[in-house]
Amino acid sequence: MKIIMLGAPGAGKGTQAQMIAEKYHLPHVSTGDIFRANIKNGTELGREAKGYMDRGVLVPDELTVRILLDRVAQEDCKNGYILDGFPRNIPQAEVLDKELEKLGDKIDVAIDMEVPDESIIKRMMGRRACTACGATYHIENVPPKKEGICDKCGEALILRDDDKEETVKNRLNVYHEQTQPLIDFYTEKGILKTVDGTQDMMDVFKTITDILE
């Protein structure tokens, strides 16, 4: 089962992807996580990606496609995977289809998480990340036990540059321009399923599992 999670940044697709991964024992492949790991490790790719992410613009297709295809070629992805944050635009989707077709494979379902921009801005400005271990929290929905301190390692929590209001608004503009056309792309292929992402987290999850089963 090969699944694509669509939706604006902050729509909750990452959380749902993790839950789906646990239930169905599939790898959760997040380009954001891959980039952040590279940034933390100070790789050349990480430095290049950070420059784009800090400005709230998308990492170029060439960088993204290269790292993604290498990831899904690994052994743990042979029975399926969940793509979170890829593809972000039509050219990426076309490259993905082409590469999978070479392997006699294809994407089974694309799930679109629909959430209004206003809700996303509020959600993302409430996110906090640990500077040391990478754990994430939300000041309203998933707060740390002690304000500003990570439960797991005791280090400071920060509002990441890509979660600040101006950056979020910029990312949403980019999403609507470049990523929204994917909804039409996967609708035409007959594999798009739309989910109301404003529901309670567990209600969203039930809707998705009903679709998958």
Alpha carbon distance 192, 169 (integer Å): 26
Alpha carbon distance 83, 145 (integer Å): 31
Q: Which amino acid is at 119?
A: S
Alpha carbon distance 148, 154 (integer Å): 9
Alpha carbon distance 131, 153 (integer Å): 10
Is 160 one of the catalytic residues?
Answer: yes
Q: Which of 36, 71, 127, 128 is catalytic?
A: 127
Is 55 one of the catalytic residues?
Answer: no
**In this structure, what token pair is assigned to residue 175?**
């999403």
Q: Which of 13, 36, 50, 71 is catalytic?
A: 13
Q: Which of 2, 36, 50, 88 is catalytic?
A: 88
Cβ atoms within 10 Å, residue 70:
10
What number of CA atoms fall less than 13 Å from residue 43's CA on the CB side?
12
Q: Which of 160, 164, 169, 193 is catalytic?
A: 160
Is 13 one of the catalytic residues?
Answer: yes
Is 88 one of the catalytic residues?
Answer: yes
- Measuring CA to CA, which residue among 139, 140, 141 is closest to residue 149? 139
Alpha carbon distance 165, 145 (integer Å): 25
Asked if omega into 87 is within 30° of 0 (cis), the reply is: yes
Is 123 one of the catalytic residues?
Answer: no
Residue 88 near residue 185 (C-beta atoms within 8 A): no
As annotated, the active-site residues are 13, 88, 127, 160, 171
